[in-house]
Amino acid sequence: MFNRSKAKIDDLVAKGAQRFDTIGDLVAASDVIITMVGYPTDVEEVYFGAGKILDRAKNAYLIDMTTSSPSLAKRIAEEAEKRGCHGLDAPVSGGNVGARNAKLSIMVGGKQSDSDAVLPILKIMGSNVVLQGGPGAGQHTKMCNQIVIAGTIMGVSEGLGYAKSVGLNPETAMESIGGGAASGFQLLNLGARMIVGDFTPGFYVEHFLKDLGIALEEAQNAKLDLPALDLAKKLYEGLVAEGCSKNGTQVLYKKYAA
């Protein structure tokens, strides 16, 4: 294992994991390399940086699970193939709860044969692993996921904000709407946190804003007008400006409930 913050893997090393001090040394000793970092710039650095993944990998499977740019995923896959390796993009959904319980939804982009080869590994982490198409398709699917979440979390925030503003008990309102057509993860999990003022992160605002930026750029490339996505990005930019970048995405509720 390698982590930029070494202390974060101390418990795993204590259980038998092998720590490497450089990415290059880890890669040289591995047949399958899985990356999950912060931003597309981080992905580019760990793959294309001197002495790092693409420089040191030999006939390896390279799986990037970061939510990143579809075009970067394609570039990695192309370079991996030139070097005798196998590149896949495999972003996830499910948050910290899904990760802890190995119930992530994993969206794979790459060749069928490569996906089949690493499927047993991905199934250790996720309960829903689907090959979506060639390189970049996993990232495009994750953009679909984030676009749906963007609209949904705005609706949850507005609905619960409305309930509070008109004098309803948000908890009893949740009982009713949570058992009907409005039910879903964002309402039942994050909505419940909203009404008690729990804005601890399951997924950081700053990372969600990064994802919204990628999705909006991809939508513009496809000549799509997605007004809900555009509004969500502006709202979360406002939250970052207010110092909420390290809160969970449910902090959007503050915009609707004084």
pLDDT at 8: 93
- The whole-number average pLDDT for the span 218-230 is 96
Q: Which of 195, 179, 178, 196 is nearest to 187 (CA)?
A: 178
Q: Residue 258 pLDDT > 80, yes or no?
A: no
Q: Please write the tens of the pLDDT for every residue from 131-162.
A: 999 999 999 999 999 999 999 999 999 999 99
pLDDT at 256: 87
Mean confidence (pLDDT) of the chain: 96
Pairing of strands 92-93, 104-109: antiparallel
Q: Please write the tens of the pLDDT for every residue from 37-68.
A: 999 999 999 999 999 999 999 999 999 999 99
Q: What is the DSSP string of 126-143?
A: EEEEEEEESTTHHHHHHH
Alpha carbon separation from 31 to 28, 78, 164 (Å, rounded): 8, 18, 54
- The whole-number average pLDDT for the span 234-251 is 97
pLDDT at 97: 83
pLDDT at 211: 96
Instruction: Out of 6, 52, 58, 142, pick the active-site residue.
Output: 142
Annotated catalytic residue 142: yes
Q: Would you place residue 93 in the very low, low, confident or very high pLDDT band (cuts 50, 70, 90)?
A: very high
pLDDT at 227: 97
Q: Please write the tens of the pLDDT for every residue from 158-176.
A: 999 999 999 999 999 999 9
Q: Which of 209, 207, 254 is nearest to 233 (CA)?
A: 209
Calpha distance 160→223 (Å, rounded) = 33
Q: Please write the tens of the pLDDT for every residue from 99-130.
A: 889 999 999 999 999 999 999 999 999 999 99
Q: Residue 96 pLDDT > 90, yes or no?
A: no
Helix boundaries (H) for the chain: 10-14, 23-28, 40-48, 53-56, 70-82, 95-100, 112-125, 137-165, 170-177, 185, 192-195, 205-221, 227-241
- The whole-number average pLDDT for the span 234-246 is 97
